[in-house]
Structure 1
Amino acid sequence: MSLTWTPTIDRALAVAARGHAGQTRKDDPTPYIAHPVAVAMIVSDFTDDQDVAVAALLHDVLEDVPPSVYSADDMTAEFGERVTEFVRGVSEDKTAGEETPPWRVRKEGYLAALAEDSEECLLISAADKIHNLRSMVAAHERLGDDMWGIFNAGPQEKLWFYSSIADAVTERLGDCAASRELRRAVDDVAALAP
């Protein structure tokens, strides 16, 4: 299994690139589009379902792009309801009320949703977190313990969240490539915690 170019993958990449234009990763000036591309590449190690790869490319669009720019309806019209449901399944609720909910509240909501999500959503979530964790290791190599100051939560909170996702993926999907790779990535970051 590997990410294979198709016209649909190409369209999804274009939508993600436009939606994340001007955005960068937290830990360095890398254009944000590198993250969804990496997530799609990682998830393609776990499944050959094109809808899952497309949703991986688009996984942060509904969360980070204003609906006036690209909405769930736009996504459904362009990629179908299945892709949109996968993206919804891995999106945090940042729009509840007038303010973004606090970090812990968002993460608890994400974990609660993950417990009910499809296996496809679990694979996308695992790939997303694997890339985030690998990026944290790379940032730690550059910045040392200063890396932890980049985030909205401290090391123990971050590790609680990622460990909880690894537990959910393992519980739901069993001992599989995604659960093993995610657990390995969590352990790598746990070894760096001060």
Structure 2
Amino acid sequence: MELKESFDEALLMASRLHRGQMRKGTAVPYLAHLLGVAAIALEYGANEETAIAALLHDAVEDQGGETTLREIEGKFGKEVGRIVLDCTDSSFPKPPWKERKLRHLALVAEAPFSSQLVVAADKLHNARSLVADYRVLGERLWSRFKASGDETLWYYHGMISVLRKAPRPLVEELERTVIQLEALRLDT
């Protein structure tokens, strides 16, 4: 599949929206995560609309809410907007962490293939980063986040169980990565 100009426009939009944003507790530009999620989604069969949504999957949650959603839908269509919204786990004001995650698990369980593909790609990219960072920081890693290590692993296992429409090899890779993170925690 050849990516067209709309993908280029989405890349520019993602770069503009997330400029200056870094991954939690690091000096890594947030755009690196968005590119990683889009790459994983494409590797597992995303079409261009889904790849665009992968680039923009955190835009509504992190950068402007409803206004950003309307901009995305205006430029890339309702389908891209729907996928991005399915990837969004919070509203304003943000509910407590566990309540927010339980709601998101229920939403993802009912989401269509395209949304589950992007969610799975996002979780895999995040889990890979957690494994790499845990090797350096150990349990100090969790101080970056609202959730503890146990809570984070609970959420990942919950997500694995609801991703029934996503590509099975992608979900299996996510599960292997989460198991690897658990094994690292047991070794310390």
TM-score interval (norm. to shorter):
over 0.9
**What amino acid does structure 1 have at the position aligned with 2:182?**
A
**In the superposition, relative to structure 1, how do residues 176 and 151 fare at CA in structure 2: closer, same or farther (>3 Å)?**
same
**In the superposition, relative to structure 1, how do residues 21 and 175 fare at CA in structure 2: closer, same or farther (>3 Å)?**
closer
SS of 1:192's partner is helix
**In the superposition, relative to structure 1, how do residues 174 and 17 fare at CA in structure 2: closer, same or farther (>3 Å)?**
closer
- The alpha carbon displacement at 1:7 in A equals 1.1
* 1:193 paired residue number: 185
- The alpha carbon displacement at 1:5 in A equals 4.4
- The alpha carbon displacement at 1:86 in A equals 0.5
**What amino acid does structure 2 have at the position aligned with 1:66?**
G
* Runs of 4+, deviation exceeding 6 Å: none
CA contact (8 A) 2:49 2:80 kept: yes
**What is the TM-score normalised by the length of structure 2?**
0.92
CA contact (8 A) 1:27 1:139 kept: no
* 1:176 paired residue number: 168
1:144 aligns with 2:138: yes
Matches of 2:166 and 2:55, distance apart in 1:
25
Unaligned stretches of 5+ in structure 2? none
**What amino acid does structure 1 have at the position aligned with 2:165?**
L
**What amino acid does structure 2 have at the position aligned with 1:181?**
E
Higher percent of residues as helix = 2
1:65-84 deviation per Cα after TM superposition (whole angstroms, max 9, x unaligned): 1248x521111110011100
SS of 1:149's partner is helix
SS of 1:25's partner is coil
CA contact (8 A) 1:173 1:179 kept: no
**What is the TM-score normalised by the length of structure 1?**
0.90
Q: How many residues align?
A: 186
| Mapping for residues 36-51 of structure 1, pairs under 5 Å | 36-51=34-49
- The alpha carbon displacement at 1:151 in A equals 1.4
CA contact (8 A) 1:94 1:101 kept: yes
**What amino acid does structure 2 have at the position aligned with 1:185?**
T
The range that moved more, 131-140 or 174-183, is 174-183
1:15-74 deviation per Cα after TM superposition (whole angstroms, max 9, x unaligned): 111111111001411011111110000111111411110000000001111248x52111
